[in-house]
Amino acid sequence: PQALAQCRSFLEESLPKARLVESSSTAAAVKKASKQRGAAAIGTELAAQLYGMEILAKSVEAIPNNYTRFLVIA
């Protein structure tokens, strides 16, 4: 839920028709997305590497100086 909240502006502007699904963690979201064709997730570069996902967009968080960095990967 936190990643979706912190990236809401990007999601609304760039992916207005995307169906948003909450996950227990960004790592869990990336793992789940890696098993579903056409799915994407907000997660870390490490998660993208671990689950063989492609990074589609970087720095999608609403507050740039926020310590947490989010990416869109598919």
Region 4-30: what's the mean pLDDT? 94
Helix (H) or strand (E) segment spanning residue 71: strand 71-73
- Please state the domain count of the chain: 1
Burial class (CB in 10 A: 0-12, 13-18, 19+), 42: buried
Domain extent, residue 12, equals 2-73
pLDDT band for position 69 (50/70/90)? Answer: low
**Whole-number Å distance between alpha carbons of 66 and 20:** 22
| DSSP-assigned letter for residue 55 | E
* Residues identified as active-site: 68, 70
Residue 73 has pLDDT above 80, yes or no: no
The CATH number of residue 48's host domain is: 3.40.190
* Mean pLDDT of the chain, nearest integer: 91
